[in-house]
Structure 1
Amino acid sequence: MTNRFSKKQLLLGVAICASVQILPAFAQDAAPQDAAAQDSASSGGLQDIVVTARKRQESVQDVPVAVTALSAEMVQRQDLTSIEKIAARTPNLNVGRASNGSGAQLTLRGIGSSSTSIGIEQSVAIVVDGVYYGQGRIINEGFFDLGRVEILKGPQALFFGKNATAGVISLTTADPTSTPEFKARAGYEFKAEQAQIELVGSGPLSDTLGVRVAVRASKMWGGYYRNVADPVTYSTFDIADGSLEGHGATPASSQAPGEKELLGRITLKWEPTDRFTATLKASGTHSEVNNSSWNYVAYNCPSGVSQLNGYACKKDFVTHQNNIPTDIAANFPFSKKDGQLYNRYKSWGITANLGYELDDVNITSVTNYNWNNNRWACACDFQSSAAGTWATENSSFKAFSSELRALTSFDGPINLMVGGLYQKTKRTFDQFIMFANIEDSTQSAANRYLATTKTSFTDGETTALFGQVTWKVVPTVELAGGVRYTHETKDSYFTQPYNNAAVTGIFRDQFDADGLGEVTANQTFNNWSPEISLTWKPTSGILVYGAYKTAYKSGGFSNGGINSKFSADPLADLTFNPERAAGFEGGIKTTLADNQLRLNLGLYSYLYKDLQVDFFNSPIFAFQTLTADARTKGVELEFEYAPRAVEGLNIHGSINYNKASYTKFPEAPCYAGQSIAEGCNIVLPGGGVRQNLNGTTLSVAPKWTGTFGVGYDAEIGNDLMLGLNADVRYSSSYLASGFGNPDSRQSSYATLDAGVRVGSADERWQVALIGKNLTNRFYVTGVVDGPSTGGASGGATSAHADQLGFGTLPRTVMLQLTTKF
């Protein structure tokens, strides 16, 4: 028996045994109880969590949607203050932090979007206070002082619109309190040597106006990863006079990411009557790290060592990257003068939420404006060598949106929701790249050492109308049907303003003689996304549901692509089609044993058409976004047990089976260096070699995932409270590559999070110790082929590239002090 199999068997056994142990409590529920037992049973039990999965407040057990809901208390206790931390404790959800492109690969139930293109929206939509944030850079936001977190699984187009083909992560920030409350929290994380302070003030300013102000600041003196690169000499060949010049590239910061961040939010809530509520939230983020690709690890290399500089490749929290040579950095656009690598992210947003309650109609308006700017300097071969590649980028995104909806609450069997959305967006993008050891001393100081530059923008406009009818067929049966119509336009532009003369045979100049140096695209998309669900409540505490759902994700434009001389159709290279999903989901949600036991079972099967797959087509030296068909299907079982006989005890867990694979990808890209015998044997009529990936597993799609956890809170005398929690998350193995590369396989793993806290019973103070990934397991949640490694695909002999994975966080332990008054 292998170690991997035994871990899986152990996880399933623990969860099943726990369920078996819980069932007697349910069986005994109907038995007579004496007075003492009744008194004991009067406390404890499960806490209900309210969610907004259908844009209305409902119990998580009453919605026909598979939801993982996290309360404000759980978010605080486990320090779930980022998308990555939320994913690290949620089965079937993975987040890969990337250096360039969109900045992230978010995957839910095996469906996600690669990180290599900044123009591709994520298939897992991020919604904050009712507003859609589509950019992968959203993971750079620090989410703190939250009211709740909801992970909605499967397509969610009807209520959340485009780009929710895999699901939604919905975050709701905390509102002002009805009484004055002030909270201060200080923390220190030992691995990264990070100090953090958080201040919250909340309360009424008058009888009708409340305010909440929250601020968090943090600084790292160390980091999660060690950079152990050696100094390298980058030698450039001057094409003007044929001279050679050496430039010293020092190692990047030895401790990464060395993060500094400042976050703030102010909330005003005005309730002049019991019918009208106006909430205004304004927030800002400023964060900077000392290396944009600080988590890129060469974890698997064909010969065991890097093909660029010979160091050992292994699964560890170690990188090898160098700064831009100082003499070049002095004039390199958007580089720090000393050449230090970095990623700086800034954002701000403002959201106005208005609610008006008529006798039978609730009207809601949500209006938002948000802006972010991201700048970085990257060692973009991710394992620096004497033939290194460095680049800088400056990109901004801004969006205005306004949604208006009305929900009826008639006494009759039929009720309606209708709404509309308008959104306008703009992305601007500039990138500057140095590679191939070339320079041109006849150029300006800014261009002298550059190989190529890119500039691009996309203006987007979206109009959507949606509606749903709910019909109480009988008091226990509800039929709901709705549809969302989306009309979308995107106007884009791309050019390469400067190319070193040595690479003009590869990159088209802006005013290239063939007239293809400037690419413009005017795209229009229209989509109807219907949905229907049927729910049955045979008795209190039991919900049976089934649903047919569809979804749509934007087509678009790859702002960070390449206009290659080898490509006859650069417009086709830079544009891509929309992604669509359709399928069925059903299940049963139960709350049993006098609100002590929750058992939920769900099944799903979805087909994805034109799943967007981005890749680098090396023969024509261009990024292209292809589309493929896929299916994801599975079963999810979750339980939670909170016995009244042991107040403060909570046992919870889940077991999930998911099969996500391509159903139609007959001419898929080969992975780097894949040989004919390995399947790279389909010769295209126009040239090039491909492979057939029909039936191959999707990227980051483990078949089995699961969790098991225990939490306990109890009084320990002298008005003190003790809290304990421990949670295990398990994943079976998966391919990190979307192209079937066996070298990318991540083996099965289990992580352990645990915490202990002691404080006063009135919550005036608390001391907590919070540990994450205590098994210190290294695993990757995305991958790229190592640039300048491997060989051509489709040959008789394989020549695979080094695998550079997006590593997650190592073991972290935080000491946290909180006071509340």
Structure 2
Amino acid sequence: MKNMRNKRFFALSACALAISTASAQPNNENEHDKTSPLEVLHLEVIHVTAQKRSADAQKTPISLNVLSSADLKEKGIEKIDDLQYSVPNLHMTETGISTQIYIRGIGTGNNQGFEQSVGQYIDGVHYGRQQLLRMPFLDLERVEVLKGPQSILFGKNSVAGALNLSSARPTQDLNASIDVSYQPEFGASEINSMVSAGLTDTLSARVALRDYQEDGYINNSFKNNDETTRDEQAYRLSLLWEPTDSTNFLLKLEHDEFKSDGRQIEIIRDDPNMSTGLAFNQYLGLFGHPGGITESELNFERQADNDEFSHNELDNITLTANTMFDDYTLTSISSLVSYEFTEECDCDYVAAPVFNVDINEEYEQFSQELRIVSPLSDTFDWIGGLYFQRSENEFDDRIKIPANSILPLANPSLAPIANTSAGRNYTLESTMWSVFFQGNFHVSDDLTVTAGARYTTEKKDGHREMNIRELNNNIIGGGDIIADPTAATLYNLAFAIQNEQSPLSPEGHNLTNSRDESSFTPLLNVQYKFNRDVMTYISATTGFKAGGFDARANNIGSWEFEEEEATSYEYGIKSSLLEHTLEVNLAVYRTEYDNLQISQFDGTLGFNVGNAKETLVQGLEVDGRWLALDSDAGTLTINYALAYLDHEFKDFKNGNCYNRQVPDGDIGPGGVQLCDFTGKSGQYTPKFTTTIGFDYFKAISFLGFEYFRANLGLYHASEQNVHPNLDPLYDIDAYIKVDARIALEAENWSIALFGRNLTDEKVLTYAGNAPLSGSSFGTNTFYGFVDRPATFGLQVQYDFSD
């Protein structure tokens, strides 16, 4: 606790130092007039780097959504999962053992052996691991959400899309700010501060700090406390050296810590055993734990007895160098990314001693990109480069059966497994090389043909070992291998943890293998300008995501999964109408996936990985902005987006059945009868998602304030399934979320009141079967992750810039 207080004191002290430094800085320059938004008679141009050079978003021939730093502040977007309520066809959730993100219904399920199908890139660096999606946002300039395969310029496994995040850069001019917000109902406070200034004529620096605290919005009635409590800090130092007009070096050093205690999980359904008529809560009562489940409704209340936490640390060093020669730009991006997290999961999700899980993961990544960008030309310009990435990942978990577990009470034959554990060790080493090139042939002033390709080769070495051990210490993977030869057999019977050696060997299984894969992913895009305000494009592109090794399965048969491939076609129109006051953009797409990587619950305790042979994703997206009002009455800008999604498994006969489903599919590992999901839609595939936002701005004169701003945002999602095995019980109903913010703004500061989820929707983001409830007790019991209810807060920002 003392260490935590010290860190908070350091963050707050640094904020104060940044502010006082900015305030004390002499101002030797003439103050420049700030342009009021009321003087803007057309929509502001949004620049993006989706094609590795700055360009107008309206002239970039791909489907994308962009949020500026101002958008992030006004919408209260603090981390990646907040983005989904501003971007149609984007979905993200935490689960009991992982983090998932989907674009157009394609994503990555529960498995630490997976990399994301939606690539995350921060300042050009690939952040592909699941845990990195939980990192907080810090001093961002822009977030770009690119939809569809991004296999040429982003490359690494971005088979469904990419998040392209850009940090704010150091400035020679003095800039400094502090932003504080507080949500009293959940005890949530956030402090963001930054100072940026020139240190010399050629060297500038930027320091950004973030501190976030939250008491939680789920009541654990068993412990009589609120969960999930969060404690997050992020620190970044950026140094920009510009020794000449044609050369610059940007060094970024960042350290993030994000910790949580408890989970936003609750039991949401408890159907009884069809033979005995007893529900899971009744079984728990019979075995001495009547408070194990006292209710099973979606009501922000849970019962859990074991300590739960997730402690994460992330470090990043990135050096970006740019040099120009003969109008060509050579860019080098060298980066080290590492993280470590430790978790304790009360993974039975009830207030009774059944089992717990320790989790630890360590990851290190080095990447190097060399890229050459040609000057823009009337005939031909291009981008080409080389990319190298090496990573090492070690994942350990331990399924612990305490001495007082109710499992032996429910089944006395399981007595030998009390006070034992099943320890797993998984390692993965990956080395990847790729070369890419994309050229733009300007056939005429109006017609451009873009062709590109990326060749990638990747080698992976995987190892998974699982042993039955004594539960004699708190070290993950610790303890001696047990001497009782029956325990391993009982683990197989109770938890489906297969034994490779022999039915009576406690050494479990020990699997090692290597994969060496290569891919060639071409792209063709034809762009035509009807005039300077209307552009249309048609593209054909491919995507590739490497295969790998299953980290989470307890059986042997699903140890390895195959690569997935995508072929995508898209037609789009981008237009700026009514003298640049209205944007209307349209994208129609069709993407065919072969061997889509799927992870589903095995019905007992683990998750099995497989490949869905054929999947079709198609749909339509419309988005844009409209400057609806610009007069003495004020300025009103409307942002809108609508997405229609048709997702269908064309050939998926090897799915894992949901509980009580009648098997009708192929025969799986270990002779298990699987289920046929052909013809069904996948998880997180609502037919319609819609966002609309209203931004009203007006000059005023009130108590020293100069402007009034009001924001209103609405998000709608139609019916969708949130269960990994597509249990129809969790086809959740459509819902609408409403956010609002009103602010008074002066030249250097502002104060705002905000409300989020004003409709107080109970949004279920993930549903799963409570482990062992079906296999050991015959019940149909579910847990769910639920998003925040309605919340209100106050935000104050002060800007010390010149």
User: Partner amino acid for 1:373?
Assistant: E
Q: Which residue of 2 aligns with 1:205?
A: 199
Is the CA contact (8 Å cut-off) linking 2:399 and 2:421 kept in structure 1?
yes
Is the CA contact (8 Å cut-off) linking 2:466 and 2:508 kept in structure 1?
no
* Superposed displacement of residue 687, structure 1: 3.3
* Superposed displacement of residue 745, structure 1: 1.4
Which of 762, 787, 798 is the matching residue for 1:808?
787
Is 1:476 matched with 2:446?
Answer: yes
Query: Equivalents in 2 of 1:274, 1:508: separation in Å?
Result: 63
Is the CA contact (8 Å cut-off) linking 1:672 and 1:800 kept in structure 2?
no
Higher deviation after alignment, 811-820 or 129-138: 811-820
Which of 525, 540, 548 is the matching residue for 1:548?
540
Q: Which residue of 2 aligns with 1:224?
A: 217
Query: Equivalents in 1 of 2:459, 2:665: separation in Å?
Result: 38
* Superposed displacement of residue 493, structure 1: 1.4
* Superposed displacement of residue 359, structure 1: 2.4
Q: Which residue of 1 aligns with 2:559?
A: 574
Cα–Cα, structure 1 residues 788 and 200, in superposed 2: closer, same or farther, change >3 Å?
same
Cα–Cα, structure 1 residues 438 and 509, in superposed 2: closer, same or farther, change >3 Å?
farther
Cα–Cα, structure 1 residues 343 and 819, in superposed 2: closer, same or farther, change >3 Å?
same
Query: Equivalents in 2 of 1:759, 1:364: separation in Å?
Result: 40
Q: Deviations over 1:388-417 (max 9, x none)?
A: 221111111110000011111254512221
Partner of 1:87, secondary structure, is helix
Q: Which residue of 2 aligns with 1:136?
A: 130
Partner of 1:559, secondary structure, is coil
Q: Which residue of 2 aligns with 1:607?
A: 592
Q: Which residue of 2 aligns with 1:332?
A: none
* Superposed displacement of residue 637, structure 1: 1.1
Partner of 1:642, secondary structure, is strand
User: Partner amino acid for 1:346?
Assistant: E
Partner of 2:132, secondary structure, is helix
Q: Which residue of 2 aligns with 1:654?
A: 641
Q: Which residue of 2 aligns with 1:66?
A: 63
Q: Which residue of 2 aligns with 1:461?
A: 431
Q: Deviations over 1:742-783 (max 9, x none)?
A: 0121110000011111121x2x11111222211121122333
Is the CA contact (8 Å cut-off) linking 1:300 and 1:743 kept in structure 2?
no
Q: Which residue of 1 aligns with 2:296?
A: 313
Is 1:635 matched with 2:620?
Answer: yes
Is 1:169 matched with 2:156?
Answer: no
Cα–Cα, structure 1 residues 551 and 203, in superposed 2: closer, same or farther, change >3 Å?
same
TM-score (norm: length of structure 2): 0.85
Could you tell me which runs of 5 or more consecutive residues in structure 2 were left unpaired when the two chains were aligned. Answer: 1-35, 273-277, 285-291, 406-416, 470-481
Q: Which residue of 1 aligns with 2:327?
A: 360
Q: Which residue of 2 aligns with 1:296?
A: 265
Q: Deviations over 1:546-595 (max 9, x none)?
A: 11111111211223332x4xxxxx2x422211121112011100011111
Query: Equivalents in 1 of 2:670, 2:347: separation in Å?
Result: 31
Cα–Cα, structure 1 residues 649 and 619, in superposed 2: closer, same or farther, change >3 Å?
closer
Is 1:106 matched with 2:79?
Answer: no
Is 1:147 matched with 2:131?
Answer: no
Q: Deviations over 1:660-707 (max 9, x none)?
A: 1101112322111213xxx64766797332222111011110001101
Is 1:350 matched with 2:350?
Answer: no
* Superposed displacement of residue 84, structure 1: 1.1
Is 1:405 matched with 2:371?
Answer: yes
Is 1:674 matched with 2:661?
Answer: yes
Is the CA contact (8 Å cut-off) linking 2:636 and 2:695 kept in structure 1?
yes
Is the CA contact (8 Å cut-off) linking 1:96 and 1:808 kept in structure 2?
no
* Superposed displacement of residue 163, structure 1: 1.9
Is 1:126 matched with 2:117?
Answer: no
Q: Deviations over 1:517-558 (max 9, x none)?
A: 321111111111111101011211111011111111121122
Which of 520, 525, 530 is the matching residue for 2:522?
530
Q: Deviations over 1:218-276 (max 9, x none)?
A: 222x21211123xxxxxxxxxxxxxxxxxxxxx3x721111111111111111122211
The aligned runs of 1:493-532 (5 Å cut-off) are: 493-499=463-469, 501=484, 502-505=486-489, 506=492, 507=497, 517-532=509-524
Is the CA contact (8 Å cut-off) linking 2:209 and 2:235 kept in structure 1?
yes
Q: Which residue of 1 aligns with 2:419?
A: 449
Which of 471, 488, 492 is the matching residue for 2:458?
488
Q: Which residue of 1 aligns with 2:711?
A: 725
User: Partner amino acid for 1:318?
Assistant: E
Is the CA contact (8 Å cut-off) linking 1:756 and 1:769 kept in structure 2?
yes
Partner of 2:268, secondary structure, is strand
Cα–Cα, structure 1 residues 682 and 493, in superposed 2: closer, same or farther, change >3 Å?
closer
* Superposed displacement of residue 145, structure 1: 1.0
Cα–Cα, structure 1 residues 40 and 298, in superposed 2: closer, same or farther, change >3 Å?
closer
Partner of 1:283, secondary structure, is strand
Is the CA contact (8 Å cut-off) linking 2:620 and 2:643 kept in structure 1?
yes
Is the CA contact (8 Å cut-off) linking 2:111 and 2:607 kept in structure 1?
no
Partner of 1:157, secondary structure, is coil
Is 1:285 matched with 2:259?
Answer: no
Cα–Cα, structure 1 residues 600 and 452, in superposed 2: closer, same or farther, change >3 Å?
same
Partner of 1:689, secondary structure, is coil
Q: Which residue of 2 aligns with 1:215?
A: 209
Query: Equivalents in 2 of 1:352, 1:498: separation in Å?
Result: 45
RMSD of equivalent CA atoms: 2.6
* Superposed displacement of residue 147, structure 1: 0.3
Query: Equivalents in 1 of 2:668, 2:705: separation in Å?
Result: 75
* Superposed displacement of residue 108, structure 1: 1.1
Query: Equivalents in 1 of 2:709, 2:768: separation in Å?
Result: 42
Cα–Cα, structure 1 residues 394 and 539, in superposed 2: closer, same or farther, change >3 Å?
same
Query: Equivalents in 2 of 1:622, 1:537: separation in Å?
Result: 49
The aligned runs of 1:677-716 (5 Å cut-off) are: 680=664, 687-716=671-700
* Superposed displacement of residue 310, structure 1: 4.7
Partner of 1:120, secondary structure, is coil
User: Partner amino acid for 1:491?
Assistant: D
Q: Which residue of 2 aligns with 1:275?
A: 246
Partner of 1:311, secondary structure, is coil
* Superposed displacement of residue 125, structure 1: 1.1
* Superposed displacement of residue 461, structure 1: 0.7
Partner of 1:712, secondary structure, is strand
Identity of aligned residues (%): 25
User: Partner amino acid for 1:726?
Assistant: L
Query: Equivalents in 1 of 2:593, 2:498: separation in Å?
Result: 35
Query: Equivalents in 2 of 1:163, 1:384: separation in Å?
Result: 40
Which of 151, 158, 164 is the matching residue for 1:157?
151
Cα–Cα, structure 1 residues 622 and 591, in superposed 2: closer, same or farther, change >3 Å?
closer
Query: Equivalents in 2 of 1:589, 1:145: separation in Å?
Result: 30
User: Partner amino acid for 1:701?
Assistant: T
* Superposed displacement of residue 83, structure 1: 0.2
Q: Which residue of 1 aligns with 2:760?
A: 776
Higher deviation after alignment, 271-280 or 404-413: 404-413
Cα–Cα, structure 1 residues 638 and 47, in superposed 2: closer, same or farther, change >3 Å?
same
Cα–Cα, structure 1 residues 694 and 437, in superposed 2: closer, same or farther, change >3 Å?
farther
